[in-house]
Amino acid sequence: MRFLTRIPGSWTSPAVNTARAIVLLVPWGERDESAQEIAARLSERLDEIPGVRTQIFMSRSLGIRGDGLPVEMVLGGPDYAQLQSWRDIVLEAMREMPELENPDSDYQERKPQMQVRVDRDRAAALGVSLWSVGRTLETMLGSRPVTTFVDRGREYDVILQGKDEQRATPDDLNNLYVRSQTTGRLIPLVNLVVLEELAGPSTLERFDRMRAITLEASLAKGVTLGDALRALEVRAQTLLPASARISWDGESREFKQTGTSLLLTFGLALVIVFLVLAAQFESFVHPTVILVTVPLALTGALVGLWVFGASLNVFSQIGAILLIGLAAKNGVLIVEFANQLRDRGRPFQEALVEAAAVRLRPILMTSACTTFGAMPLLLATGAGAESRQPIGIVVVFGVTISAVLTLFVVPALYSVLARSAGSPESVSREIEALREASTQ
């Protein structure tokens, strides 16, 4: 394995104890491992370093910005304290799930903070208002604009701020005083406040305008993203109350949205094909017989995915949509020719048997052409093979198996459903017969 590493100089992080490096892999043809295999092996080596927490982010799919792990669950709630407790519950469950690895969250209490808490009772007894304490701390430890001045037609802000050497350590509070509103005397500020050193998050994130914490995890070897998301969603819904809002981001959100849209697209494609066939055949029976080839093709596609150990992902679902047209054309060849023979006056059974026999060669030829045309996708290697191979598997196995089964299933179903339906020109033949009888 060969790769190049560089530190991104333009990237900044609010945390002082983190670092990030970019790993540039050599071209696909010059290495024997995929990016996923390299990431898995590198993760094992990095885990051996004591006292270091590491995460490896892969390049994201098209349409998703930034970096991140495949599994990204977003917890939304009323306040960050509540979200923190929910985060701990879900993180503990994620560590026990065999489908996930390296769970973590973007809410990390690692940034040193200094909290100044005012003793309200003591301040009230000494006649010092909270406004005076707050303004003093703001002016001396931070900064605030007090006025403006104009110089040669331009206006500038006047910012009041303590000197750097006078606000560098917590002990500098000993040098600050506030005036009592009752006695007029100066009172040391350190007598009115209590300092607490704590660690807090570097950023407070929001998602869909709600306070949110994002939980991330990588997938275990051999686990698909769909299986991991289903298992995590069930576990989270079981452990969290109904008031917790569960959302998804990054690749997980894309998977959820794309899966739903592709199912809708598949259903719309079936409806459109059915309506077009119904208009062409002037019947709802014949399109039903033809579209029975689609489940046969999908069965072949699932068999192919199982044989190659592939998953039902976005690319394989696109191939399934293609199968609607590729598989339906076999049924069209048989049904259309059987209807033509019946229009010529052939008996039903004889027309069906002859249609299946005559259309055998066209079905095999067109199916073979489609199969061999998609074979390069099935045998694809190199960069991008993960996206091309599922489409090839679905098309090759779906068309092959549907072509074989169509020769038996379509004639059988046509014999059951279309016997009483009549051929497309049966009505016109009856009208013509009645017209000839009336003329005689």
For the chain, list residues with pLDDT below 50.
Answer: 1-12, 62-64, 66
Residues 359-384, buried b or exposed e (16+ Cβ, 10 A)? beeebeebbeebbeebeebbebeeee
Q: Is 366 helix (H, G, I), strand (E, B) or coil?
A: helix
Q: What is the CATH number of domain 261-438?
A: 1.20.1640.10
Going from N- to C-terminal start, the domains of the chain cover 1-56, 64-105+211-248, 111-200, 261-438
For residue 141, give the nearest of 180, 111, 115, 108 by alpha carbon.
115
Does CATH number 3.40.30.10 belong to domain 64-105+211-248?
no
Whole-number pLDDT of residue 5:
44
Q: Are 70 and 55 in contact (CB under 8 A)?
A: no
Range list of H helices, 142-249: 225-239
Same fold, 64-105+211-248 and 261-438: no
Q: Are 342 and 428 in contact (CB under 8 A)?
A: no
Whole-number pLDDT of residue 256:
78
**What confidence tens digit (pLDDT) does each residue in 117-169 have?**
888 888 888 888 888 888 888 888 888 888 898 888 899 988 888 888 877 77
Of the CATH numbers 1.10.3720.10, 3.40.50.1100, 3.30.2090.10, 3.90.550.10, which one belongs to the domain with range 111-200?
A: 3.30.2090.10
Strand partners, 144: 160
Whole-number pLDDT of residue 1:
44
Please report the DSSP string for 128-154 in residue order: --HHHHHHHHHHHHS-EEEEEEEETTE
Whole-number pLDDT of residue 11:
47
**What confidence tens digit (pLDDT) does each residue in 86-117 have?**
989 999 998 888 888 888 888 877 777 778 88
Whole-number pLDDT of residue 3:
45
